Amino acid sequence: MREPFGPSALTATSASTSRRMWRLIAPWLALVLFLAVPPFIWPQSWLLAYLAQTATMIVFALSYNLLLGETGLLSFGHAAYSGLGALVAAHVFNRVGVPLVLLPLIGGLGGALCGVVFGFISTRRAGTAFAMITLGIGELVSAAAWTLPDWFGGEAGVAIDRASGHALGSWSFGPAREAYALIALWCLLASAALFALSRTPFLRLANAVRDNPARAAAIGCYPRRVRHGVVVLSAFFAGVAGTLGLINVELVSSESVGMMRSGAVLIATVIGGTAAFFGPVAGAVVLTFFSVAVASVTRAWLFYLGLFFVVVVVISPDGIAGFMQRHIARVAACGWRMCRAMYLWGAAAALLWTLAAVLAVQWAYAVQFGIDDSASFGVDGLPLWMASSALWFSGVVFMLAASGALSTRYAVRAQARLAMNSRSTRIAGDTQ
Amino acid sequence: MQSFVINLLNGVSYGLLLFMLSAGLTLIFSMLGVLNFAHASFYMLGAYVGFSVAAHAGFWSALVIAPLIVGAIGAALERWLLRRVRVHGHLPELLLTFGAAYLLGELVKLGWGLSPLSATVPPALDGPLFTLYGAAFARYRAFMMAVSLVMLALLYAVLRVSKTGLIVRAALTHASAVEALGHDVPRVFTGVFAAGTALAALAGVIGAPLFVIEPAMAESLGSIVFVVVVIGGLGSLSGALAASLLVGCVQTFAVASDVSLGGVLAAFGASLPAEWDALTLAQLAPLIPYLLLVAMLALRPRGLFGRRDEHA
């Protein structure tokens, strides 16, 4: 029998709706704060460049997630759309003189046009074959960028002067601050548009095609046509992202269509998590942190990024967002007190393993590359006595790794105990 | 036309090298259902390990030892990492091999440095085998073809004749039934993965003297191998062979030719803007595998010998 709605039930439902509202708004608030507040506190130019890169990557990763998360299409050539979109935008800006404010729209249309053409070829297959075809198309475009210098500008790339367009009021967009404001605004706009898009019936059809193409075809939609549509939409937003990058650095080169960039957006999206809308945003922030902050400290940043990526795929295939969701749900179900041991041991294990890995990798890089110019490789992160004596050093790394393994063991045991406890309480609850 | 035969032989030997890579890739794909994105990285690792072993113990021991070492690394990757993510489906497996490709690339830079190395041809295989109309065919290329053909024959024999091959083929299609008969199917998977990566390493060792050993060699060859596998039809060994030979020959002929794009199109009565006319086919050679891929997909989406995909 269902209980009649009393006043207590009513307040409970209103509390839960307000909590749901809060949960819906909080990530947006965090994104706005992340983009808007730091420039007012530390108005240095490197911070603006870093934030502009992050904003670009956020849009890029969100557009990629239309393919990977919503439609289940793994693409290895997504940079082709953003790079070609930016290229179209750069040529249009230099020849026609579109206002800079509307330039991302032009780039998006350029990207979408490429999406129509390339998507027609690539969506002939799904699954692994789609991934390989996009890889081939990505390689084709990046190889063409080198063979057709009059389009891509060869080594130098195609440059624009963002201050040369029509000024908007007193804003010429020449200073980095004004350009950043434009980029951040477009980033929020594109994110909101992508969020709205993810609630449309068309993307629900895409989800159906992802989960079961045969049944989706049986209810009367063409899986291939849906995939093609998603590729075009995703290419549009990738073009927008590419143009935001163009506004930031005022240059589009053959690197912007390269495979490195395609790999970067894939890594960002997977690290963040494809199941949640804000997963790619988190992944974009993490990736830009690696490629800007970590890369400025150590040469080994690509190694760390690869390692982190592999660890994420092995431990939590649904990325940071999925990891957070799972653990928030667990804490809510079991209570903080029950989970405490597991989290403490888990955090200790993660810390110790990270420390051991960083020390070992830094040492190895110092040994291999430190001889020619050690200044930029962050060898100074190591105390001198450690670098001088290999025996001491390997002993320290071994101790760290051993205690890390021990903490991992304890964490796994605590997790098993927790799982057993919660199962037994659930069974006890059922029998009552 | 004098060098036609030599070009053809060069193309076939390059194609057979490609086939050694795509055979391992196809084997792993049809077995585990996952395309090993790190396959070209194992090829690169094989070249580097082979270089180091050859410096100490000679080329012939490198030919044996390097594939064994790399195969062991491949088995470890399958056993400790891939098997853990298999429960989550094929996508995480593919992503894991993608991450492994990054890590292997960085490890190679870490172990051997950034500067390119050049492997030497052993003296017994140095020099031309024969000259035809004044153009020489290198003895080493003939050796490469022989090794590839022997490997191909061995692979075929093991898969078709031996009991191991029987178990592997059965595990391909009826994994649970094979398991019920008392065979350790996960171990078969590990063995197949190790064999595939060892094949890639062997290709690396014998391919190294023809190319430069450098950290970028995985990317330069890797995407061509993936293109070959798609053109041949995913999961089809004979398709991989045909596509490897096709791509190898077409690319070799394009590199060796001195025809300009305008000249080719003029033969068809078409014309292009002036800046395109100046491009030679040799300049366009890196594009040709991808253009072949696009053409193949437009005409026959499942590849040369691929099975029909229900949801394509």
pTM of this structure: 0.88
Residues in chain A with CB shorter than 8 Å from the CB of B85 are 313-314, 317
**Hey, what are B69's tokens?**
């070492």
Compute how many other C-beta atoms are within 10 angstroms of the C-beta atom of residue B285: 19
| pLDDT beyond 70 at B310 | no
Put simply, the chain A residues between 346 and 405 with a CB less than 8 A from any chain B CB are 364-365, 368-369
Would you place residue B7 in the very low, low, confident or very high pLDDT band (cuts 50, 70, 90)? confident
What one-character-per-residue DSSP string does A220-263 give? T--HHHHHHHHHHHHHHHHHHHHHHHHHHHSEE-GGGGSHHHHH
CB contact under 8 A, A314 and B84: yes
Which 21-50 residues of chain B touch chain A by CB within 8 A?
29, 34-35
The CA-to-CA distance between both ends of chain A, in Å, stands at 17
- Count the Cβ atoms, other than its own, within 10 Å of residue B65: 19
Instruction: Tell me how far apart the alpha carbons of residues B103 and B114 are, in angstroms, rounded to a whole number.
Output: 15
Q: Are A292 and A51 in contact (CB under 8 A)?
A: no
B263-273 exposure pattern, b = at least 16 Cβ within 10 A, e = fewer: eeeeeeeeeee
B35 versus A169: the higher-pLDDT residue is B35
Neighbours of B293 (CB within 10 A): 28
Q: Which of A67, A139, A212, A299 to mutate to test the interface with B (most CBs of B within 10 A)?
A: A139
Which of B138, B304, B52, B105 has the alpha carbon at shortest distance from B220? B105
A121 close contact with B: CB closer than 8 A: yes
Identity of the residue in A128, A144, A270 whose CB atom sits nearest the CB atom of B35: A128
Which residue in the set B99, B234, B301 is minimally distant from A310, CB to CB?
Answer: B99
- Report whether A324 contacts B120 (CB < 8 A): no
Instruction: Name the residue among A122, A128, A313 with its Cβ closest to that of B95.
Output: A313
- pLDDT tens digits, residue range B261-289? 666 666 666 656 666 666 777 777 888 88
Q: What is the DSSP letter of B89?
A: -
Q: Is the pLDDT of residue B210 over 90?
A: no
Percent of all residues in chain B with a pLDDT value above 70, rounded to a whole number:
91
Question: Residue A52 has what pLDDT?
Answer: 93
Mean pLDDT by 10 residues, chain A (432 residues): 46 74 88 88 84 95 95 93 94 88 94 94 85 88 81 80 76 83 94 94 93 90 93 96 93 87 94 92 94 86 93 92 89 82 89 90 80 43 56 84 90 85 62 44
| pLDDT score at A376 | 41
CA distances from A305 to A263, B35, B109, B187 (A): 11, 22, 15, 31
Segment holding A167, helix H or strand E? none
Cβ distance B96 to A310 less than 8 Å, yes or no, reads: yes
Query: Cβ of A136 and B310 within 8 Å?
Result: no
Q: Write out the H or E segment, with its range, that includes residue B128.
A: strand B128-132
- Retrieve residue A404's tokens: 């890390």
Contact across the interface for A263 and B279, Cβ inside 8 Å? no
Indicate the pLDDT class of residue B155, thresholds 50, 70 and 90.
Answer: confident
Q: What is the pLDDT of residue A23?
A: 82
Contact flag A143-B287 (C-beta cutoff 8 Å) = yes
Give the pLDDT of residue A147.
78
Cα–Cα distance measured from residue A75 to residue A67, given in angstroms and rounded to the nearest whole number: 8
Token pair of B117 as six digits: 């190395």
Query: For B215-271, how does the pLDDT look when each residue is reduced to its tens digit (9 = 90+)?
Result: 888 888 888 998 899 898 888 888 999 999 999 999 888 888 777 766 666 666 665
What is the average per-residue pLDDT within B63-75?
A: 95
Instruction: Inform me whether the C-beta atom of residue B102 falls under 8 Å from chain A C-beta atoms.
Output: yes
Amino acid at A144: A
Judged on CB neighbours under 10 Å (0-12, 13-18, 19+), B210 is middle
